[in-house]
Amino acid sequence: MQGSTMLDDTIAAIATPLGEGGLAVIRLSGPQALAIADRCFVPAGKAAAKPSLAGTHTLHYGHVMRQGRPVDEALVAVMRAPRSFTRQDVVEITCHGGILPAKLVLEAVLEKGARLAEPGEFTRRAFLNGRLDLAQAEAVADLIGSRTELALQAANEQLGGKLSKRINDLREQVLNILAHLEAHIDFPEEDIAPDTREELLARLERGIGFMDELLRTADEGQLLRRGLRAAIIGRPNAGKSSLLNQLLGRDRAIVSAIPGTTRDTIEETANVRGLPVVFIDTAGLREAKDEIEVEGIRRTRQAVERAELILHVFDASEPLTETDERYLRQVAPKKRILVRNKIDLPARLHLPSVWTSTTVGPAGAAPRLSAVLDVSCLTGRGIEPLKDVIKELAWSGEIKAEMLEVMINARHQDALNRARAAALRARDALLEGLTLELVAMDLRIAVNAVGEIVGKTATEDLLDAVFSQFCIGK
């Protein structure tokens, strides 16, 4: 990724997904955006004007030309600096959708002097030019990747600056404490009065408390962004694929009475009570009969290891087997739901209470959440209650609007953990009466760590790591 020294380049990229569609958008940003558009766009109509002569936030009809021939008819939007997403001159060319028209329009602007944008470079310019802070820039990617309305709402809150305001307030609070201490360091003959020391400690404790409050949102924030991974396991023909289809509300997996139909893992995301849940349908758990099945079961075990929730499916019309009990023991440490399927048939399954307890797990281990649900994947009975239980095991309690305002991600969590550790060291040093230079050193570490979240102390490597996760054209 190019650094801030490359802001004088004019960049271009296709800003819409590749493939057949009604429209495609090619975006340019930079000091030469208007001049480059002039070289490859011929306006049409009585009031036709070249992009360089057009007013800001205006739309113009014409044709994109390449090597003297028209490529496509297009609409050109002109947005002059600083009233644009990047705070640079921006031109957006809307042409017909399809891989070839968009590709040829992009080639036309690249031939006239633009450079192909790197992943996230438009949003990076918005950050470098003060249009967004780093937390807001990350929210752009979250917004694009949202898979539920709750995730979309959380991303919009962060993009609107709700999290940034709280982070900036926290940074300012710690910075003020640091400034107070540094004033005493500059004038060592003036000792800190006891009441002043108590006030500084109280302010520092409030800052640490606020860090703790933000850190408590980390798990929920990551859940909304990446989704809960839920592996569907069980013996062949227990109804795992049927359960996946019911949870998705469509036929995604092949369902057959022949055991072992699923030989590979299938991943699909569903909206379960507002939460994105990644369901993984797995190969049936049994002794493998061929190489393909060996690989399928290996992938099943891998999916179980990575899953945060297990849906263990049983055929309620068949008695419990030794294989069932073996796998019940193996996944005991996991948060899980025992799903008794085929309840429309005569019941023959009995699950011993040891497996239906909420304290299932190795001796001495912490209690694990567990639940037992009866369903019929044939009729759909029990599917809605199952969704309720999945949501409760993933996120207990009501999802309130104010909670969505400050959903931190993994990067924020790491920065806050470092800031908290430094603030705790500073507090302890102040309590023990250690030299103020040591206290100030830890407070500087805390200030810098908090500043990383909004980009006030961002390094080039950090920016590269953040924006490399974006798609090209954003």
Right CATH for 140-217+407-455 from 3.30.450.40, 2.60.120.10, 1.20.120.430, 1.20.1260.10: 1.20.120.430
Between 267-271, 277-281, 303-307, the lowest mean confidence (pLDDT) is in 303-307
Q: Which CATH architecture has domain 227-394?
A: 3-Layer(aba) Sandwich (3.40)
Q: Are 41 and 26 in contact (CB under 8 A)?
A: no
The pLDDT value recorded for residue 355 is 67
Q: Is 370 helix (H, G, I), strand (E, B) or coil?
A: strand
**474: number of CA atoms within 13 Å, CB side?**
17
With CA atoms as reference, report the closest residue to 54 among 35, 67, 26, 31: 35
Q: Is 338 helix (H, G, I), strand (E, B) or coil?
A: strand
Amino acid letter, residue 330: Q
Is 43 exposed, middle or buried (CB count within 10 Å of its CB: 0-12, 13-18, 19+)? middle
Tokens 């996946």 correspond to what residue?
A: 244
- How does DSSP classify residue 239? S
Q: Cα(446)–Cα(418) distance, rounded to whole angstroms?
A: 7
Tens digit of pLDDT for each residue in 159-194?
A: 999 999 999 999 999 999 998 888 878 776 556 666
Whether this prediction's pTM lies above 0.75 is answered by yes
Tens digit of pLDDT for each residue in 448-473?
A: 999 999 999 878 888 888 888 888 88
Between 173-177, 308-312, 400-404, 409-413, the lowest mean confidence (pLDDT) is in 400-404
Q: Cα(272)–Cα(410) distance, rounded to whole angstroms?
A: 23
Strand 11-14 relative to strand 115-116, pairing: parallel
The pLDDT value recorded for residue 332 is 75
**405: number of CA atoms within 13 Å, CB side?**
12
Q: Is 428 helix (H, G, I), strand (E, B) or coil?
A: helix
Q: Are 381 and 344 in contact (CB under 8 A)?
A: yes
* Domain ranges within the chain, ordered by starting residue: 4-131, 140-217+407-455, 227-394
Right CATH for 4-131 from 2.40.10.340, 3.40.1350.10, 3.30.1360.120, 3.40.190.10: 3.30.1360.120
**How many Cβ atoms from other residues are within 10 Å of residue 237's Cβ?**
20
With CA atoms as reference, report the closest residue to 396 among 371, 376, 421: 371
Mean pLDDT of 2-10: 67
Mean pLDDT of 382-394: 90
Q: Which two tokens stand for residue 60?
A: 């113009």
Amino acid letter, residue 360: V
Q: Is the pLDDT of residue 22 over 80?
A: yes
